[in-house]
Amino acid sequence: MDPAARKDLYPHVEPFDTGRLRVSDVHTIYYEQSGNPGGHPVVFLHGGPGAGTSPGNRRFFDPEFYRIVLFDQRGAGKSTPHACLEQNTTWDLVADIEKLRQHLDIPEWQVFGGSWGSTLALAYSQTHPDKV
């Protein structure tokens, strides 16, 4: 990213919560929450497949307004097992988004995807229209 463009993002924030969620007999995903714990929930869906999230992804959202949820998709980032393709389809990933929403007890949330994550955002929104 162009350094000049970075200055227009929101300030860096640290997560107030991190964890791991077992989503199948093979996969465990890493997730984190930052921003306002009582704020408007938004989930960021990273590109890839295989890329993972980065601390800079938190800066897309106003931390005073949003409860920012980031997670690493199956096989990516801090999720385990790394680079595993077994049980790792688009629909498995869509199911993981819903499992994470339920795990975090979020009634509905905004979905925001970049690159491959935008495809997941559309697939999730089409299959879970009452949750977005």
Give the CA angle between residues 41, 47, 53 to the nearest 5°.
60
pLDDT at 128: 99
CB of 116 closer than 8 Å to CB of 74: no
Q: What is the pLDDT of residue 8?
A: 86
Q: Kindly give the parts of the chain with pLDDT less than 70.
A: 1-6
Q: Output DSSP code: residue 40.
A: E
Please report the pLDDT score of residue 5 as a whole number.
57
Looking at domain 3-131, its CATH architecture is: 3-Layer(aba) Sandwich (3.40)
Name which of 54, 20, 46, 14 is nearest 111 in CA terms.
Answer: 46
Q: Where are the domains of the chain?
A: 3-131
Dihedral angle of Cα 108, 116, 60, 69, to the nearest 10 degrees? 40
What does the pLDDT read at residue 50?
80
Q: Look up the pTM and report it.
A: 0.94
Note the pLDDT of residue 64: 99
The number of beta carbons lying within 10 Å of the beta carbon of residue 41 is: 21
